[in-house]
Each structure stands twice: as C-alpha cells, then as structure tokens.
Structure 1
Amino acid sequence: MAKQKKKGQSGQAKNYITRTQAVRKLQISLPDFRRLCIFKGIYPREPRNIKKANKSASHSTTFYYTKDVQYLLHEPLLQKFREQKALSKKIARSLGRNEVQDAVRLEKYAMPKIKLDHIVRERYPTFVDALRDLDDALSLLFLFANLPSTSAVPAKVIARCQRLCHEFEHYLITTHTLRKSFLSIKGIYYQATIQGQDIMWLVPYKFVQRVTQDVDYRIMGTFVEFYCTLLGFVNYRLYTSIGLVYPPKFDVASDERGAELSAFTLEGHRVAGAIDQKEDEQKMLTNGHGQIQNSETIQAQIDKIAQEAEVEDDTKEDENPEEQADSGTIDTFTPAAPEGDILPQPDLTGDEASTLFSNFTFFISREAPRHSVEFLLRAFGAKRIGWDAVLGDGAFTHDETDPRITHQIVDRPALAQPLPALQGQSDPKDQPLQAIKPGYIVPGRVYIQPQWIWDCVNEGKLLRTDLYAPGATLPPHISPWIKPTSGQYDPRATLEEQEPAGEADQDIEEEEENADSAEEVETDDGDESEDGENEVDAGDMDVASASSEAESEEEVADGFAGFEGTEDADGLSSDLDDEAQHQKELEAEASGRPIPVAKSKEDARKAKALKARQTAQSKKDEEIERQKMMMSNKKRKLFEKMQYSNNKRDLEAEKLRAKRRKLERAGKGKA
C-alpha cells in the first residue's frame, strides 16, 4: 500500500509561505522584513490556487516563495537588524532614566552601520546586469534630488542623491554617450547608450514640490538607500573604465553658490601619468639641475619629427579623400517601396555628438531651465556656456553683452529693439558686468527658444533657427522613440508628402458646399418673410414641368457623356450642359433665389478628378470583395479586423490633416 500524503505537506501549500509565517520564522519585525525583501529583491507572489496555498483559509494574505524565505535565513543583515533592535532598547532605557547624554552617545557612536555592497554583488553578477537595471534607480534618485528636505526626507539623503546624479551626468558629458531627450508633462526624459545598453530615465522639472502625507517615504527611502549604493558602484566602474579618478573633486563652497555641475573637477590617471612622465623627461634633460643641456640639438630633432608627421598626414588625405570624408558618417537606410514603413535610422556616434554644438558660445537667460539646458549643451560638445549671475556660479561669462556669445536661449515674447552701442573697452574681460533690458537684443546674435536644443539633439543635426525665434509658433515636439508608420499622421512631414491625391480639393469642395447651403437657408428665410408676390409669379410659370424637363435633359446628357464611341460626344455634352445651366438660371429667377454661377474649367477639372477617384475606389472595393470570397472563414474574419483597424487609423489621420490644413489656410489669410 502506497504511503498516504497528508494535507498541506506538499504542492502549493509547501511552495508558498504567508508573510506572517515568514516574519515569525526570521524573528524580525515587519518593517525590517520589508527592508530586507527590498534589499534582496524578493517580492510577493500570487499562487495559482490561493485556497490550496492558504490551506483552505478564507482570509486574504500575502504569499512568498518558501525557498526565498529560507534564503534569507543566512543573510548577514539579520544580525545587524537584531543589534539595532537591542541598541534601541538601551537608548529607550537611558531616556527613561533621564540619561540623555548616554542616549545621544549610544545613538551617535554605537549604532551599527549597514553596508549593502555584498547585496549589489549578489544581485548583479556582471556589470551589464547593473546597467540594465539602472533605469528605475536613476529616475528615483533624480526625483529625491529635487525634493525639499523634511523630517521624512533628510537633507543628507538629498545631498547624496544630487552628488551621485551629477557624477553620472559628468560621465555622460565626458564620453558623449547621451543620445536623445524629450520634454513631457511628467518631466524630461533622457536616453543614453552605455556599453551597448540603452538607459532611459525621467528627471522632474525644478518646480516647488509639495510633500504629501499619503506617500510612504520609509519604503521609498529603503529603495533610495539601495539605489545609492548601486549607482556608486556603477559610477566607480564607469569612471575607471575611461581613466578618471573616482570620486571627482567636489567644491562645497561652489556648490552652495549654485554651481551644480561646475562644482566637480575631473581628474584622470592618464593625465597624471603624462604629467609625471614629462617631469621625469625634464629632469633627465636638466640632469637634476636647472640648466638644460643640448637644447638646440633636441629642439632641431623635435622640429624634424613634427615636419615629417605633417607631411605624412597631408599625403594620406590626398590619397584617400573620400575615405577621410566618409570615415565619420553612418549609413542611412531608405525604404525599398514608396509605401513602405520608415526604417529606423542608426543613432549618432560619439564623434558627431561631441561636435554638434562645439562651434558656438551660448548664453542662458534667467527664465530658461539652466541645468537641463547646460547638461544637454555640454553633452553635445558645447565648451563655453554663460548665464545670468542669478542662476548660480560656474558660468563661462555672466556678461550678457559679451561679443563672443553667438546664441542666446530665451523664453520671452518677441524682441525687436536693437541694443544701443556700448561705450567701453574692446576687451570683454575688462568691461563691467552688464545686463540687457527686456525688449532689447544684441545685433549679430541668434536668439532661440529652448526647444531648438532638444530638437537638434533628437534629429542629430542643426535645425533652422528662424523657426524657433522668440515669440514664434514652435514646430511640434514629437517623442523621438515613436517612429511614424505608413498611413499614420506625421506632424513633422508636410501635407503634400502624406495626403492622398485630391484630398485637399475634396476638403475645399465640402467647405464651399457648406457655405452655399448656409447662404441658401438665409435666402429662403428672407423669401418667406415677404408678402408672397414671388410665390404667385412662380406658380404661373409652371416650374414643376420645367424642372422635370431639365432632369430628363441631364439624364440624356449623362448618357451621352458616358458614351465615348461618337466623335461629337464632347460637343453634345457641352451643349446640354449649357442648356441645363440656362434652365437652372430660369428656375432661380422665378423663385427669387440668386442666379447660380456657371462652373469654371478648374471646377470641371476637380469634378472630373473626383469622379475618377470614386471610380477607382469602387473598382478597388470590388476587387477586395472578390478576394474575400476566395478566403476561408477564419482568414476572412481576420482580414475584416485588419481592415477595420486600418480604416479607423486612416480616418483619424484624415481628420488631423484636415485640421492642419484649416489652420494653415487661416494663417495664410492673416498673413
């Protein structure tokens, strides 16, 4: 006889454990259990059959894997938590005895410190694993870096998050690995490519944040504690991989004056080694004394080597000019068919990103977001960036009238008045600090709105600055991660590129018909208000017979127009059209309505083109119906679903194009 299984000893009842059982098994408090699970990356699980896992109990509970809880039994942090609990009891005892100094001493010196280094190494065996999990860490740390200090969020935590985030931004600036950015309602999205991994994070706008009470900052603080350790590991690995010293030098006084990124000074091992090597060479040349030996001979050898190197570089450029030109470019992909989807293009290289803004000198006005603009400009090659002294320390120049400035980033209404000539010394360093009054501009300088920087970064090239002038209507700011597909509306493309043939003419015809119908309604209301003399006259002229004759003539004309075998088909149709037009004029005159104007050649052409499009569409629909008859029932239903979604997408795109066409016509009318 086989051994009988007891209920609750195998299956889901054994694989899952409730949170209460896990806390009792680990012998820690519930807050410590939550912290430990966050640090170790253990999350609640939902069994397939809750009734079996809960051993037929009806109350709701939270389940964990039993093996995960057994794995926590050997965690070194458990001992740290127990030591903290014992110390908190000693502190409470000292406070109960009114021994305040002893309580302060115990809390300051005897509190065991928790280190999470071993947990980071356990959860991320390789550096690529850490990079893949860096999105949430960066988003949360940038969020806490912008929060105000409260009792729930201490100032030390905020300062640590700010420093780690600035260190990471300095790495992106040095390596030019930032690729895209997008301004959204939630904040500013950034994407960087580090060692082949795309990392995207969200940075909130620097507004005044309201700390609400419905958020559990203890849970978020636990995540921040772990993510700070993780980002510290990642920053150390990134800095050392490019030969920089970590942590970089940090000037506290400059940071207090609002320098932010400029408060850090990067140092490299390679640079230090090169300086030491030069000093050793200098000592060898001077033989340990202050006098250089054989300086003329050494200088002649150096000049000879430099000339040879220049000649070799010139010959290489002359031999392969095309290869030199194409070495820094990336191949672009074009669709094979005209109606095919737009293929995603490769991103910028580090060399192209480092030279995008390298030839310009920028000045950030006080109303522009300084930190985000400075970070983007420096990440894409800008070396000289100035701003107003109110925005903080660390600028290239605080003088707004500096002639070296080529582009000024403003977010104000249109500026029109040129700045009068400044009297002073020619050297900008010797001139006093000056500010330009609102409404004045410096001649020869380009004024742009901040969106120009984001659009240039996403497009990978410098765009036209006149479209982003102060006060101008900005182009649509589209997310760089959404690629347009065929059939969808693309606000970045022109209407001629994406609208079907004749769609604009059809839209204009519909508007004209709506206007004509509105005028007819107005005239009919005016006729009814009269004393009825026109009605008596119309009744004497037998309008009904005339209209019936006109309809019969129109039918005959349509019949002749469709018959193309005769030589005088065009002549007959034109004569019939003239007669029909004459009859319509008589009817309008009898009824007191305005006389309809004869259609011009352009209107006839549009009508003919519309009829041709309708004929082609009807043939296409008939062909589709014939093809559907040959399909199986399953494929027919699938095809109808696809057709429904495509028609819905085309209808939405048509509405958006009509709205844009109307706005463009209104803009041209105002101009």
Structure 2
Amino acid sequence: MVSKKKKKYSSGEGAQFMTRKAALKKLQLSLKDFRRICILKGIYPREPRNRKRAQKGAGGIKTLYHTKDIKFLLHEPIIWKLRDLKVYQQKIRRARSMREYGKMRKYFRDYPEINIDHIVKERYPTFVDALRDLDDCLTLCFLFSTFPSLKRVPRDQSLLCRRLTVEFMHAVIVAKALRKVFISVKGYYYQAELEGQTITWIVPHHFSFQPQSKDEVDFKIMSTFVEFYIMMLGFVNFKLFNSLNLVYPPKLTAGFSSDSEKDLVDEQAYVSERIAAMNLSLAKVAGANEVEEVPEIDIFDTGDNDPQKLEEAKQEAEKVKILKTLFKGLRFFLNREVPREPLVFIIRCFGGEVSWDRDHFVGATFDESDESIAYQIVDRPSMDKQYLSRYYVQPQWVFDSVNARTLLPINKYLMGAVLPPHLSPFIDKTKDQVYIPPEQRALNDPEYKPPGDDESDEEVEEASDEDKEEQSEPDSDDNAEEALTKQYQAEVAQDSASDDDSDDGDDSVDPEKKKIAKEKKKNMAVKTGVPHKEHPYQKEIEDKQAFRLREKLVRKKHRNLYKSMKAGQEKRKQEIWLLRKKRRLHDEKAKEEKKAEKRKQKMKALDAASA
C-alpha cells in the first residue's frame, strides 16, 4: 500500500502561524475591525523561530499570528456586533443619500452598542490579575485625561478618563498605598502597593496642549486601547471602593460630567476642578467600620529558614508603617507658583492637610493666616510677608522626604537655596551593572564621602602626606620581625650544638642513627626565605585564558544568545563609563566656577580695602 505524501508546511511552524492577510480572509473582517478586536482581546503578532518556515517559504517580513489565536477569535460575539455596525452604517449612508431623514434618525436611535464587560472578566479572572496589569492602563488613562477634544479622540472618552483617574487617586489616598514618587522630564512617577501588587504609573505635566501638524501618532489605535482600559479601570475602582467601605460612584465636582460645556473648553477651569476634587474627603458606606490596619507579619515555616530575610521583611514592614503617617497632623499651604495636583495627592496620601489661596483657585480649606500651618511650599527666591510659626520650603522637600521615608532636615530646601540632586528611588538592587551617583552612594553608605566634597579632598591630601611620611621612615615592624627570626635561629643552633655534645658523650648510640638525626635537625632548622618575583599581570593573563576556554564550551545553539549577553554587558559598561565621565566633567566645571567666584569676592574685598 502506497502511503500518501505529506504536504509541505502542513505541520510544525508552517501550520502554527498565519499571516495577517490570511487571518482577515478567515475572519471576514476589514483591517480596521481586525485591529480593534485584537486590541480588545489582547492578541498580538508573534515572532517565530524560523521565519521562512512560518511564512511557508515566502520571503520578506510579514506580520504573523498564532493560528490558535485566530481560531479563538472565530467564536467572539463582538465580531457579529461589528458586522451589525457595518450593516447599520450602510443603511445610514443610503438613507442620507436618498434624503430619508426619518429613517436615518431611526437607524441612529437603534444603533447597536458594543459591550466589552465579558472581555475584562475573560482576560482578568481575579482582581489581583487586573492589578498586576494596571501600569499601562493608568499611564494611558492619565495621558488621555489631559487631552482636549481631538479629531480622533471622542469627547466622552477624555471626560471618563478624568473621572476614573481621580477616583483611583482617591482610593490610593484612603488606602495610604503610595510608596515612591519621582519627578522627571516625562512627568511624575508614582508607585503604589495595593493587595500586595506594586503598581507604577506616570502622570504627565499639565502644559497647554499644542496640536502637531504631522500625524506622527495614531490616535485611533490609542483610543481603542483606552476603550478597553476605561472598562477595566471602572471595575478596579468599584472593587477598591467597596474594599475601603466607600460609596461608589463618589460625588465629584461638576467638571467631570459632560453637561458642563465650560470645562471642555477652559483648561484652567478643568485643572482647578480636578484638584478641588482631590482635596475633598469621600463619603463612607453607612454603618461601615474604619479600614483595619495591616496586622503584624506572620512568620511561616518556609523551605529556607533564613533569619536575615525575615528580619529584613520585618524592618520593611515597620518602615512602611511609619511612612503611612509621615505627614499626619501637619498642615501645608501651597503658593500659587507650585504644582498643586502632585503635592495635594502626595501630602493627603500620608495623612497631611493641604490648602491654597481661595481667591485664585477653588477647593481651599483654610487661609494663609492660619497659625496651625506647619510648612508653606514656595518656589521663589524670597517673600515679603513671612510667619515665624512655619517653615518655608521648596516642593522638592516633599518628594525627597517621601522617598527617604522620614522628614528630612529643611536646611538644604529653604527659599532660594541651591537644591540637592533629586535622586530616583526606582533602583533595582539586584542589578550589578548600574551607575550609582555619588549622592546615592552617600545615602547607602554613611561612611562614603562624595569626591566633590572639599572636606573629603583635604582629608585625602592629609592621608597621602601621612603615607609619604610612613614610607620615608624605616619600617620598625619589619626590623622587629627580622630580629625575632635571627634570635630563634640562634636558639635552634645552640640547642643543636648541646645535642651534639650530649651525643658525643653517649657511646652506646649507633653512629648511623646519629648521622640521620643530625640531617633531620638541619632540615628542620628555620632558613631565611628567598623572595620570588612574580609577573604583575601573570594571574590576569591566566584567568583570561581560562575564561576563553570556558567560552569555547558553550553549545552552538546557545552561542548567539551568549554573544548578545556579552554585547549587552559591554554596552552597559560603556554607558556607566560615559555617565561617570559626564559627572566628573560637571564636578570639575562646578569647582572651577566656585574658585572663580571666590577670586572675584577676594578682588572686591581688596578693592574695597584699598579705597
């Protein structure tokens, strides 16, 4: 019996992958609808091991999808909704062309809506799964919340993003879940911890929106992502508010409803309304108790009973407990020139109270003349009217205090002072090839002193002078060691001589044995060591040769991966070297400027004295 010949590319990678054109043909969708359904369902192109086999022998580079993913989409009910939408669009177009406006209004009234609730439940079966994937969702929603009405971004979408992001920030405030903050060129980085999951997101700076002339960003695709993220964030907010015993949806200000047309046009009014909402306490569920504090850490019997890890976990829990009440009982007043939204959010997260000038912005809770204000945040060189009962600090003090988990001394953050570097708290301690600035090293190691410090430079010079003096003086320890060695050798020689005399007097001992005993004693005597001069780079050369031999043992299939790893290491080394060089040049320039300033002051003093 002749066996049937197996068709090429019917198994293996040829059958596992499908091109985008084949997927569109199978699903009978347009490219626009296919992109939308893939974004909503979380299906993305894949990279095959062997592209030629996956493309069934075709050349070039094509967009490939897993065949199982495309078959999975065949049973999605949204596809039928998309087809219904297409039918209604054709009916509306026909009614408009025929000028049947009554029918057109009817079609608009019965226009089908797409509901994606089931997709959120399908992609995130548990609440923890949704929290784990919340980083991109928050970043994109905060970005869209700053947009005005754009051509490809629906007006309601931006309004919904504004409301949902403020609700999430309220949940973080009540849960006291904020852990780290950082200011960068991109915006404000925040990191919160909810249900044991670490969530990091970026909030952009509030600048006036300037539309670009070129369409470099596809807002349509981004809007499709936001369509799914809005639904997801709504579910997350509902669950968070219920767990915190808060009423959902909260009653926010008028700026978050589409009825107010003023807020859609006036950006300043929107920002004021948003921050006013941040400064208000939310209503709790009637009869609900306060949210319980996190209990002390339980010690479970794990596989590796490492007491050091348990101790570190306990210390971390204590630090977090202190951090939650960092600003408790303190009142802050914000000047009009400082960024209000991040400061209000951060201070309220750690138990503080905030206010500002009620004549300029809405939502103020107390006046500037209130004597209970502990800190006033200012960003100007001086102020005419100052109160003795409070400290005047710059905004960076709040951010650095949160990252340090304690109220830092205000000496370096006073009005008009040159601020210290704002260090990023997002440092991965497990990575070894990371550039650590001198200020970060000084924080990690109290004994370390930055190279730019004048006192440390003087100490280094003094230490080098002492080393020179020690080198010029004779080494007393070496002399003492040599004297002890000589004394020991003399004692051994004396003992051997006395033994020889006693052996001569004893005739009963065999002369052969005497001879062997004398040789043994000679071998046991301490001799002066002969210094062996080693090649200074011999060990390094041998290590390199041994490393090259070990590299040759890497298997052929892993060789490319190993090469890419080594290239990555070299690239990181180069980046670290470049950053150190930049820092060194910066420090040298600052030192020269400082010296020039001192010279100018001396010349002015001499001119004044001579005059």
Report whether the alignment pairs 1:346 with 2:316.
yes
Question: CA separation in 1, counterparts of 2:571 and 2:273?
Answer: 57
Report whether the alignment pairs 1:414 with 2:414.
no
Pair 1:29–1:659, CA change in 2 (3 A)? closer
1:503-555 CA distances to partner (integer Å, 9 max, x unpaired)?
A: 8369979xxxxxxxxxxxxxxxxxxxxxxxxxxxxxxxxxxxxxxxxxxxxxx
Matches within 5 A, 1:621-660: 625=537, 627-628=539-540, 631=543, 633-635=545-547, 656=583, 660=587
Is the Cα–Cα contact under 8 Å of residues 193 and 199 in structure 1 kept in the other structure?
yes
Question: CA separation in 1, counterparts of 2:180 and 2:282?
Answer: 24
Query: How much is the aligned-residue C-alpha RMSD, in angstroms?
Result: 4.2
Question: CA separation in 2, counterparts of 1:17 and 1:644?
Answer: 36
1:79-111 CA distances to partner (integer Å, 9 max, x unpaired)?
A: 11011111101110110012334324422x211
Is the Cα–Cα contact under 8 Å of residues 488 and 650 in structure 1 kept in the other structure?
no
Structure 2 residue corresponding to 1:497, chosen from 438, 448, 453: 448
Q: Give the residue type in structure 2 aligned to 1:374.
A: V
Question: CA separation in 1, counterparts of 2:536 and 2:296?
Answer: 50
- 1:392 Cα deviation (Å)? 3.1
SS at match of 1:86: helix
Is the Cα–Cα contact under 8 Å of residues 124 and 130 in structure 2 kept in the other structure?
yes
Structure 1 residue corresponding to 2:369, chosen from 396, 401, 405: 401
The alignment-based identity, stated in percent, is 40
Question: CA separation in 2, counterparts of 1:106 and 1:345?
Answer: 64
Matches within 5 A, 1:500-579: 504=457
1:435-472 CA distances to partner (integer Å, 9 max, x unpaired)?
A: xxxxxx23332111111110011010001122111211
Question: CA separation in 1, counterparts of 2:473 and 2:336?
Answer: 71
Which residue does the alignment assign to 2:55?
A: 54
Question: CA separation in 2, counterparts of 1:643 and 1:10?
Answer: 41
Question: CA separation in 1, counterparts of 2:582 and 2:313?
Answer: 25
Pair 1:104–1:471, CA change in 2 (3 A)? farther
Which residue does the alignment assign to 1:235?
A: 237
Which residue does the alignment assign to 1:471?
A: 416
Is the Cα–Cα contact under 8 Å of residues 13 and 52 in structure 1 kept in the other structure?
yes
- 1:665 Cα deviation (Å)? 8.5
Which residue does the alignment assign to 2:283?
A: 267
Matches within 5 A, 1:228-307: 228-252=230-254, 258-260=272-274, 262-263=276-277, 266-269=282-285, 271-272=286-287
Which residue does the alignment assign to 1:201?
A: 201
Which residue does the alignment assign to 2:512?
A: none
Is the Cα–Cα contact under 8 Å of residues 449 and 456 in structure 2 kept in the other structure?
no
Q: TM-score scaled to structure 2, two decimals?
A: 0.69
Question: CA separation in 1, counterparts of 2:394 and 2:209?
Answer: 25
1:155-197 CA distances to partner (integer Å, 9 max, x unpaired)?
A: 2111100111011101110010000010011111000011111
Question: CA separation in 1, counterparts of 2:200 and 2:586?
Answer: 34
Is the Cα–Cα contact under 8 Å of residues 489 and 498 in structure 1 kept in the other structure?
no
Pair 1:267–1:350, CA change in 2 (3 A)? farther
Pair 1:449–1:648, CA change in 2 (3 A)? closer
Q: Give the residue type in structure 2 aligned to 1:42.
A: I
Which residue does the alignment assign to 2:113?
A: 113
Pair 1:498–1:89, CA change in 2 (3 A)? same
Q: Give the residue type in structure 1 aligned to 2:370.
A: D
Pair 1:462–1:62, CA change in 2 (3 A)? same
Report whether the alignment pairs 1:98 with 2:99.
yes
Is the Cα–Cα contact under 8 Å of residues 250 and 265 in structure 1 kept in the other structure?
no
SS at match of 1:635: helix
Question: CA separation in 1, counterparts of 2:5 and 2:475?
Answer: 94
Which residue does the alignment assign to 2:122?
A: 122
Report whether the alignment pairs 1:5 with 2:10.
no
Q: TM-score scaled to structure 1, two decimals?
A: 0.63
Is the Cα–Cα contact under 8 Å of residues 171 and 239 in structure 1 kept in the other structure?
yes
SS at match of 2:439: coil
Is the Cα–Cα contact under 8 Å of residues 144 and 161 in structure 1 kept in the other structure?
yes
- 1:637 Cα deviation (Å)? 9.0
Report whether the alignment pairs 1:392 with 2:361.
yes
Which residue does the alignment assign to 2:328?
A: 358
Structure 2 residue corresponding to 1:453, chosen from 388, 398, 416: 398
SS at match of 1:475: coil
SS at match of 2:130: helix
Matches within 5 A, 1:305-324: none
SS at match of 2:316: coil
Is the Cα–Cα contact under 8 Å of residues 44 and 62 in structure 1 kept in the other structure?
yes
Is the Cα–Cα contact under 8 Å of residues 414 and 470 in structure 1 kept in the other structure?
yes
- 1:222 Cα deviation (Å)? 0.5
Q: Which runs of 5+ in 1 are unaligned?
A: 276-325, 329-335, 337-341, 420-440, 510-559, 566-618
Q: Which runs of 5+ in 2 are unaligned?
A: 258-262, 264-268, 298-307, 463-470, 477-530, 552-565, 602-611
Moved more, 496-505 or 479-488: 496-505
1:408-435 CA distances to partner (integer Å, 9 max, x unpaired)?
A: 11111233x4x3xxxxxxxxxxxxxxxx
SS at match of 1:249: coil
Is the Cα–Cα contact under 8 Å of residues 507 and 658 in structure 1 kept in the other structure?
no
